[in-house]
Amino acid sequence: MYLGKLGDKMEIQLDKIETENNKLKKILDDFQTNYLNIYNELESISFIWQGNESNEFNQKISVDKVKLENTYGELKEIDNIYNYLINENQGIGKNIFFDFNKKSKIEDLFNQIATSIADIVDYYDILDTSFCPVEASIINSEKQKLELIEKDLMNIKKDLKNTLDKIEKNENMVSEKTSSIDIEIIKEEQGE
């Protein structure tokens, strides 16, 4: 899998993309209907006009039709990319805003907080509370709360990492799909 470097800030407003993509599908259907109609009419000319020039024209029309069909195919490939990013990101959220430059900083922050909590718990453990049983009970309770907080923090960190990894994977796949599209260049033939 191609793993390119993800850029800085990312903004994906998925619900709006989905709305536009639904419009795109309808327009592409109309586009196909209309270009097929054009070529049906152009091809019907062979019944109205016979001769060598008509035959040459028909051959040219056949070639042009393929060019337009390929163009439609290329448009559908872009549509498929949008389908992919909508489907794969749907489970993450309607809107995704993130600065990937901050990813490692956020992970470090989680680790720092977890380390601080662990240090505090360690200090609690070495406290001599043999002379104050009431306070010892309170301290023990607070220590357990901190341990739960640390556990929750690590779970949140894991979930966040998984989500960010998924977003990166999706973007890398979009990059791969985009790179694989090769738009055929066509040249206008010089007229008579």
Chain contacts with other proteins (rule: CB under 8 A): 4-13, 16-17, 20-21, 23-24, 27-28, 30-31, 34-35, 37-38, 41-42, 44-45, 48-51, 53, 57, 61, 64, 67-68, 71, 74-75, 78, 81-82, 85, 171, 174-175, 178-179, 181, 183-189, 191-192
Under 8 Å CB-to-CB from 122, ≥6 apart: which residues? none
Within 10 A of 8 (CB to CB), how many other CB atoms are there?
9
Q: Which is nearer to other proteins, 50 or 144 (CB)?
A: 50
Rounded CA separation 134/128 (Å): 13
State the nearest-atom distance from the C-beta of 187 to other proteins, in Å.
7
State the nearest-atom distance from the C-beta of 1 to other proteins, in Å.
15
Q: Which is nearer to other proteins, 98 or 110 (CB)?
A: 98
Tokens matching residue 106: 């956020």
Tokens matching residue 86: 């909508």
Q: Which is nearer to other proteins, 48 or 134 (CB)?
A: 48
2 close to 175: Cβ distance less than 8 angstroms: yes
State the nearest-atom distance from the C-beta of 147 to other proteins, in Å.
39
Q: Which is nearer to other proteins, 143 or 177 (CB)?
A: 177
What single-letter DSSP state applies at residue 91? T
14 close to 186: Cβ distance less than 8 angstroms: no
State the nearest-atom distance from the C-beta of 62 to other proteins, in Å.
13
18 close to 87: Cβ distance less than 8 angstroms: no
